[in-house]
C-alpha cells in the first residue's frame, strides 16, 4: 500500500528533487503538485528530467476526494510555508515543511536569523524537528515536521556522540562554518571536525545552521541520543508506526 503525497511549491528546485525521490519510492504515490505560477503546465515542462517518470500537471489548489493526499510537503522558499501551513494544518493532514519557517521555537532567535516572525509562527509548537537520528519517536507521533537544513544536519550529527558522552559542556558555543565544499564545526575552543578547508560563506555567529544546532543540543539530553557506532543494549528499539495512535504516513 502506498501513501498519497502532495507537494506545495513543487515548481522549484527542492520541489522537483522531492518529486523525483517520491516517484522512485515504493511506498509513495505523488498525487498532486501545487504551484501558483505553473498551474496548468505539465511537470515535464518545468522539470525536464522527470519527463519519463510522470505525466502529472501542476495545479493551484489541494485536491479533494479520491486524490486527497495523506501527507503534504511544503517545498517553497523561506516564507512560503508561513503563508500556506496554517490552513493545511487545520485539515488534519500531516505536513512536512522543507523550509526554515518552523524550525526554531524562540521568536528572538528566529528574528535574528530570518527576520520578523509572521503570524503563522504562532503554530511553531505543532512542529517537531525532523532529524530522525535524534527525534524519531517525536516525528513518528507528530502531524507536523520541520525538516532540518543540510549544514545543520551535518553539524548536529557530528556533535551528537560528544553530547552523549558529556564531552562538550552545555554552555559551550557551537559555530557552523559553511564553505563551498564542506562544513566546519567548532565547539568549545577547539576544532572538532574539519573535513576540508575552504573560505567560509557565512558568519560563524550568525549562521542559521548554528541556531538549529544550538536548539537540537538544548532539546537532546545525553541519555536520549543514539549511541555512536551502531547498535547498543541501551539503544531504544525502533517501534512500529502501525499503532493506532500514530499517523499512517510515518510507516
Point out the residues that are catalytic.
150
Q: 131 and 216 in contact (C-beta within 8 Å)? A: yes
- Residue 244, C-alpha cell as written in the block: 493506532
Query: CA nearest 16: which of 3, 36, 30, 1?
Result: 30
Q: Which sign, positive or negative, has the C-alpha torsion 107, 113, 115, 121?
A: negative
Give CA–CA dist 34/84, Å, rounded: 11
> Distance (Å, rounded) from C-alpha 29 to C-alpha 13?
20
Residue 39 burial (CB < 10 Å; 0-12/13-18/19+)?
A: middle
Residues in contact with 104: Cβ distance below 8 Å, sequence separation at least 6, in sequence order: 110, 113, 114, 124, 211, 212, 215
Kindly state the helix (H) or strand (E) to which residue 66 belongs, with its residue range. Answer: none
The closest alpha carbon to 130, from 111, 114, 153, belongs to 153
Rounded to an integer, what distance in angstroms lies between the CA atom of residue 209 and that of residue 215? 10
Amino acid at each position: 500500500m502506498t501513501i498519497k503525497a502532495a507537494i506545495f511549491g513543487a515548481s522549484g528546485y527542492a520541489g522537483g528533487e522531492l518529486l523525483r525521490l517520491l516517484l522512485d519510492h515504493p511506498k509513495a504515490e505523488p498525487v498532486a503538485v501545487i504551484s501558483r505560477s505553473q498551474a496548468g503546465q505539465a511537470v515535464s515542462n518545468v522539470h525536464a528530467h522527470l519527463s519519463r517518470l510522470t505525466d502529472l500537471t501542476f495545479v493551484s489548489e489541494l485536491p479533494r476526494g479520491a486524490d486527497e493526499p495523506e501527507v503534504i510537503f511544503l517545498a517553497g522558499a523561506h516564507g512560503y510555508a508561513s503563508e500556506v501551513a496554517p490552513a493545511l494544518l487545520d485539515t488534519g493532514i500531516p505536513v512536512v515543511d522543507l523550509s526554515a519557517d518552523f524550525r526554531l521555537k524562540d521568536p528572538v532567535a528566529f528574528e535574528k536569523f530570518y527576520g520578523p516572525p509572521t503570524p503563522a509562527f504562532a503554530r511553531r509548537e505543532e512542529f517537531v524537528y525532523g532529524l530522525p537520528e535524534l527525534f524519531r519517536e517525536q516525528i513518528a507521533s507528530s502531524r507536523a515536521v520541520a525538516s532540518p537544513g543540510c549544514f545543520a544536519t551535518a553539524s548536529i550529527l557530528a556533535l551528537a556522540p560528544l553530547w552523549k558522552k558529556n564531552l562538550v559542556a552545555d554552555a559551550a558555543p557551537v559555530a557552523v562554518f559553511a564553505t563551498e565544499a564542506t562544513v566546519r564545526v567548532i565547539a568549545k575552543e577547539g576544532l572538532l571536525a574539519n573535513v576540508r578547508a575552504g573560505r567560509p560563506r557565512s558568519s560563524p555567529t550568525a549562521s542559521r545552521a548554528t541556531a538549529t544546532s544550538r536548539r537540537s543540543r538544548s532539546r537532546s539530553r545525553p541519555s536520549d541520543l543514539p549511541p555512536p557506532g551502531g547498535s547498543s543494549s541501551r539503544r531504544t528499539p525502533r517501534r512500529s508506526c502501525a499503532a493506532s495512535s500514530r499517523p499512517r504516513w510515518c510507516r
